[in-house]
Amino acid sequence: FFFRRAMLLEGRDRQLASATAFGDAQAVEKLLVQGAYADAETEEGDRCLYVAAELGFLEVVRVLVKFGADVEHHNTNQHENTALHVACLNGHTEVAGYLIDSGAVVDALNVDQRTPLHMACLQGRRVLATYLIQRGSNIRAKDSDNQSPKDYLNLHRLPPEAEHNIGQNLISDRQLRYLYEKYDVNGDGYIDRGEVHKMYASWEHYGLILSDAEVDAAITKATGRKDGNVTFPEFSVLLLELTKL
């Protein structure tokens, strides 16, 4: 009986990791109610809260924290970052604020002695950096390279509005895979020309202004083909082409 129960709970933990990666807050809560562990890890060793924070899934973060996920945990697989570090690296201000409100240490240090503010400034995220400073983060903190958050921010010299252009911001492999699968609506393993155009049109609020012909040219340049189909390895190249300033 106890062995079967242990196997059942382990299966729910795997389902929890999967539901987290897809941002399904309802499924996450249901699994937690059924006994899944809020600090369950993915096969890569990342805790669910870390994944949700990295991808910006605020509602999933809320549910995990409600069920006891450790907001101060340092991920041993990723430079010993906390969930707050990766939320700030990827520009998820609401997630960052919720984590801080829930007890996350605003100046937690990773293995490189970087705070979440360092991570925000590494990506030139001035709006988020200002918010973190307002929440008590130390703008003068030095990392292992003797660099302060301000030093990294000065490297960008970007106007604040540039923060909202996705072409300026690096994204993780996990985010890239999530975005790719989101727009592969047919589930056929590649994004076709129509799906690329639909994806680009959804970015209108970022101020992106390529014509249909220019989008087609970007597809051809990224893939080296004229069939209009984009595989996952070609997807990151396509994003760079579509978001050049």
User: Are residue 52 and residue 152 in the same domain, yes or no?
Assistant: yes
User: Are residue 85 and residue 43 in the same domain, yes or no?
Assistant: yes
User: Are residue 155 and residue 189 in the same domain, yes or no?
Assistant: no
User: Are residue 26 and residue 56 in the same domain, yes or no?
Assistant: yes
- In CATH, what number is assigned to the domain containing residue 21? 1.25.40.20
Q: How many angstroms separate the CA atoms of 69 and 225, rounded?
A: 46
User: Are residue 179 and residue 159 in the same domain, yes or no?
Assistant: no
Contacts of 174-179 with CB under 8 Å at 24 or more apart are 174/21, 174/51, 174/54, 174/55, 175/54, 175/55, 175/90, 176/235, 176/236, 176/239, 177/232, 178/21, 178/22, 178/55, 179/235
Burial class (CB in 10 A: 0-12, 13-18, 19+), 57: buried
User: Are residue 62 and residue 104 in the same domain, yes or no?
Assistant: yes
* SS3 state at 79: coil
Q: What angle do CA 32, 33, 34 make, to 5 degrees?
A: 90
Domain boundary among 111, 146, 168: 168
User: Are residue 121 and residue 226 in the same domain, yes or no?
Assistant: no
Q: Which amino acid, one-letter code, is at 195?
A: E
User: Are residue 35 and residue 155 in the same domain, yes or no?
Assistant: yes
Total residues belonging to the chain:
245
Domain boundary among 153, 168, 183: 168
Which helix (H) or strand (E) covers residue 154, if one does?
helix 149-156
Please state at what angle helix 232-242 crosses helix 173-183, rounded to 10 degrees: 90
Q: Tell me how crowded residue 216 is: count the other CB atoms within 10 A of its CB.
A: 16
Domain boundary among 168, 195, 214: 168
Q: How many domains does one find in the chain?
A: 2
* SS3 state at 151: helix
pTM: 0.65
User: Are residue 86 and residue 158 in the same domain, yes or no?
Assistant: yes
User: Are residue 122 and residue 68 in the same domain, yes or no?
Assistant: yes
pLDDT for 203: 67
Token digits for 235?
Answer: 């997807």
User: Are residue 118 and residue 190 in the same domain, yes or no?
Assistant: no
User: Are residue 92 and residue 211 in the same domain, yes or no?
Assistant: no
Phi first, then psi, for residue 236 (nearest 5°) are -65, -35
For 59-74, the pLDDT digits (tens) are: 999 999 999 999 999 9
pLDDT for 113: 96
- In CATH, what number is assigned to the domain containing residue 197? 1.10.238.10
Range scoring the smallest mean pLDDT among 97-101, 122-126, 221-225: 122-126
Range of the domain at 208: 173-242
Region 124-141 average pLDDT: 86
Q: How many angstroms separate the CA atoms of 141 and 143, rounded?
A: 7
pLDDT for 170: 42
Q: How many angstroms separate the CA atoms of 140 and 225, rounded?
A: 49
pLDDT for 47: 94
In which band, very low, low, confident or very high, does the pLDDT at 187 lie, cut at 50, 70 and 90? confident
- Whether the CB-CB separation of 46 and 82 falls below 8 Å is answered with no
Range scoring the smallest mean pLDDT among 6-10, 69-73, 96-100, 170-174: 6-10
